[in-house]
Amino acid sequence: MIKLFVGGFPLNITELELVMLVSPHGEVNTIKIVRDKKTGKCKGYAFLEMTDKEGADRAMEALDGTFLGDRQLSVKITIDKPVPVKKPSFKSNNSYSSSPASYVKVGRPGEDTKKKRPRKQF
């Protein structure tokens, strides 16, 4: 699968209209128009997955820089970057549990026992 970035189109365009614009150049597998999370309004760009690189190249050559209404299209092949692995975050500021510290007896039977603070459970 090859992913295309399509930007600069009118904000009222639908997924179907965008697919109809690109599909003469190659087969479109999926489409995602990017929208504002709060309002749901189109942000003016989308990502399309095409089945083959040749179709994506043809779409980019034919549509990049052309006008759709009064807006100029930008069509580029995107390269997926690997998603960074998130490291577990540890709380700082020495924030321990809100309960007061309790002591637990630790030791073997028959020996003098020592009292130690329990470790904080994560």
Distance CA 5, CA 63 (A): 11
- From residue 38, alpha-carbon distances to 9, 35, 45, 46, 115 in Å are 21, 9, 17, 18, 54
Distance CA 63, CA 67 (A): 8
pLDDT at 48: 94
pLDDT at 122: 64
pLDDT tens string 58-117: 999 999 999 998 999 999 998 776 667 777 665 555 555 555 555 566 666 666 656 667
Task: Look at the alpha carbons of 54, 58, 64, 65 in this order and tell me if their dihedral is positive or negative.
Answer: positive
3-state secondary structure string across the chain:
CEEEEEECCCCCCCHHHHHHHHHHHCCEEEEEEEECCCCCCEEEEEEEEECCHHHHHHHHHHHCCCEECCEECEEEEECCCCCCCCCCCCCCCCCCCCCCCCCEEECCCCCCCEEECCCCCC
**Overall average pLDDT of the 16-42 stretch:** 93
